[in-house]
Structure 1
Amino acid sequence: MHQPRRRDRRLARRVPPKRARRQSSQPTAAGADVVLVGYFSAKQKDFEALMTSAAAELAARGARVIAQMVQRRGVSDGGVQKMGLPYSSRTLLSHGKVREVAQVCDQAKADAVVFVASLTERQQRVLTAMLGCPAASLSDILAAD
């Protein structure tokens, strides 16, 4: 008689709360102060031009880019072998860079963080929780507007 109750409790814990589902809505760019974050490999030499064009796209949609941050992959000897992979499948960035972005967001009172690279839904949820403001990819914002 006790075993069915345990199974029922375990199943109930696995269901995500409704509040977590609502947080996945995409932020709009109009009137928002955003931090722009880029993730590029060392092979990509024109990353500054990509960041500039992404900032221009956001500005055209009414957003104010208050800070830009870049995570480079493959600059060190150890990173060259794993250049095509993200630092973390949960956050795309390294843990230290996520802390730096969170600090910039807190100091600048940013409304959202926009990543030049595309993010999975899981990465968006994790980054939103870690950064304290909504995280979205540039392609999602451009598609929404």
Structure 2
Amino acid sequence: MKQYRRLDDPLNGADVVVVGLFSAKERDYEVRLDELAAVVEARGGRVVGRYVQRRGASDRWKERPGGAARMSRPFSRRTLLTQGKVREIADACRQGDVDAAVFVNALTPVQRTVLAGILGCVVFSGGDLAVHGGTG
């Protein structure tokens, strides 16, 4: 674990990945990731990876009833994302010695716990950074 300059902010001095689940309808998802990365960097973190999971991007080409209604829902109640995407992020976190993952999306306490165990690092949502002002 890296040495932090300020103990009251776990992002200060940390290598961080930013992650987001976005509906295929959402066009400004890159802007939202940029904004989250800027918040992380303002708090002393270094963004070392960005991961996007799109929901419904391929469903529009299939004739599956109710596909549009599912576009804003998580893929998994436990991890928010698909197993493959979580595995991809976990591999990168281990190889890059990542200290924290910050999700654009709101996370439940269960999702936060499960993701922290799989990714091997502290997990935050973007709302944690704004609301708690450094305590996460």
Q: TM-score range by the shorter chain?
A: 0.7 to 0.9
Query: Does residue 60 of structure 1 match 2:60?
Result: no
CA distance in 2, matches of 1:111, 1:142: 19
Q: Secondary structure at the match of 1:142?
A: helix
Q: 1:56: how far off? A: 0.7
Letter aligned with residue 123 of structure 1: Q
1:103-145 CA-partner distances (Å, limit 9, x unpaired): 1101111001110101010100100111111111111123222
Higher helix residue share: 1
Structure 2's unaligned 5+ residue stretches are 1-8
Q: 1:84: how far off? A: 1.9
Q: 1:80: how far off? A: 3.5
Aligned residues: 119
Query: Does residue 33 of structure 1 match 2:15?
Result: yes
Letter aligned with residue 71 of structure 2: M
Q: TM-score, normalised by structure 1?
A: 0.77
Conservation of the 8 A alpha-carbon contact between 2:18 and 2:101? yes
Q: Map residues 1-145 of structure 1 onto 2, 5 A cutoff.
A: 28-77=10-59, 79-144=67-132, 145=134
Conservation of the 8 A alpha-carbon contact between 1:74 and 1:81? no
Conservation of the 8 A alpha-carbon contact between 1:38 and 1:115? yes
Q: Name the Cα RMSD after superposition.
A: 1.4
CA distance in 2, matches of 1:81, 1:121: 25
Conservation of the 8 A alpha-carbon contact between 1:29 and 1:61? yes
Counterpart for residue 13 of structure 1? none
Conservation of the 8 A alpha-carbon contact between 2:22 and 2:72? no
Q: 1:81: how far off? A: 4.2
Identity %: 49
Letter aligned with residue 65 of structure 1: V
Q: Which has the larger Rg?
A: 1
Letter aligned with residue 28 of structure 2: D
